[in-house]
Amino acid sequence: MTPLRQRFVEDLRLRNYSPRTIEIYVAHVARFARHFGQSPDLLGSEQMRAFQLHLLERKVSWSQFNQTVCALRFFYGKTLGRSEQVPMLPYGKKPHRLACVLSPEEVAQLLEAARPGRERMLLKTAYACGLRLMEVLHLQVQDIDSARMLVYVRRGKGNKDRLVPLSLRLLTELRDYWRAYRPVRWLFCNQAQQPIHPGTVQRHLQRAVLRAGLRKPATMHTLRHSYATHMLEAGVDVMTLQKILGHRQLSTTARYLHLRGDHLQRLPSLLDRLALPVPQPAQAEGRP
């Protein structure tokens, strides 16, 4: 590791960024430097602008685009102390699209299509607790509190701990899973007893989606969206759900109100209330 990269990592750690965020930020700055074939401290505002245009030409997602901006802003503003260059890095306006949500029947199809054992149990736990991908991958055996029927989520997004309810059915299935695989520390680990890589889980999920015959663009985060929507449909209030999901802002949780199928289905149909003539069934040709 070069001294400059080491300094960048230390600056991020001093501000208590999560290991995953540090990994992502370092990767983005390294990709920026490789694009120009120079050390990033030798590059400036013109190269930043050119790299942003390059990302747009590649049609990367707005999430990746803005992550790159965050990484470069931190690197130039904090590590290099060149804060005058930070305003030269504008964020992209991310389009607000409705989240993909599966119905309870589709979730059941997906879980049934997953391979039995570790793969299916991981997906069940992610859905049953509304966990993010990195949260479920970093669950430890000791985080399952059967006495209080709670799951302890350590260092979630924003480096916050929280508690989520544990269902009796999930506890029973987790006990069967533990007896079969005997994980020591990490609940869902590979052969080296380390957490499974996120990319591996996403590939397993995509194969399960295909086997289930689902046409929706489901990802691991879709299980979390589905959990939140189904909880609201079951009558859980928004403020309680906010705490369970670990959202900082209530407005983040409130967006799931727009995805509630039961609420939308109860709205009046204006077309049905119009005094329109009832369509007559078509008659077959050749008959009176």
CB proximity list for 241: less than 8 A, separation 6 or greater: 228, 231, 232, 253, 256
Instruction: Let me know whether 14 and 144 are in one domain.
Output: no
Q: Determine the pLDDT at residue 267.
A: 66
Instruction: Let me know whether 43 and 111 are in one domain.
Output: no
Q: Determine the pLDDT at residue 11.
A: 95
pLDDT in tens, 35-52: 999 999 999 889 999 999
Helices (H), the chain: 3-14, 19-36, 45-58, 62-74, 104-113, 118-129, 133-137, 168-181, 198-212, 220-233, 238-245, 250-254, 261-265
Q: Determine the pLDDT at residue 248.
A: 87
Does residue 49 lie in a domain region? yes
Instruction: Let me know whether 117 and 257 are in one domain.
Output: yes
Coil/strand/helix, residue 286: coil
Instruction: Let me know whether 112 and 49 are in one domain.
Output: no
Q: What's phi and psi for 124, nearest 5 deg?
A: -60, -45
Q: Determine the pLDDT at residue 288.
A: 47
Instruction: Let me know whether 108 and 230 are in one domain.
Output: yes
- Provide the annotated active-site residues: 132, 157, 221, 224, 247, 256
Instruction: Let me know whether 19 and 111 are in one domain.
Output: no
Instruction: Let me know whether 245 and 120 are in one domain.
Output: yes
Query: Which residues does the chain have with pLDDT short of 50?
Result: 288
Q: What angle do CA 240, 243, 220 make, to 5 degrees?
A: 110
Instruction: Let me know whether 40 and 119 are in one domain.
Output: no
Instruction: Let me know whether 120 and 204 are in one domain.
Output: yes
Task: State the pTM of this model.
Answer: 0.72
Q: Determine the pLDDT at residue 95.
A: 72
Does residue 273 lie in a domain region? no
pLDDT in tens, 116-129: 999 999 999 999 99
Instruction: Let me know whether 257 and 115 are in one domain.
Output: yes
Q: Which domain holds residue 242?
A: 104-265
Instruction: Let me know whether 77 and 23 are in one domain.
Output: yes
Instruction: Let me know whether 19 and 119 are in one domain.
Output: no
Q: Determine the pLDDT at residue 254.
A: 85
Does residue 193 lie in a domain region? yes
Residue with tokens 């409705």: 98
DSSP, residue by residue, 62-77: HHHHHHHHHHHHHIII
Q: Determine the pLDDT at residue 202.
A: 96
What token pair was written down for 221? 């985060």
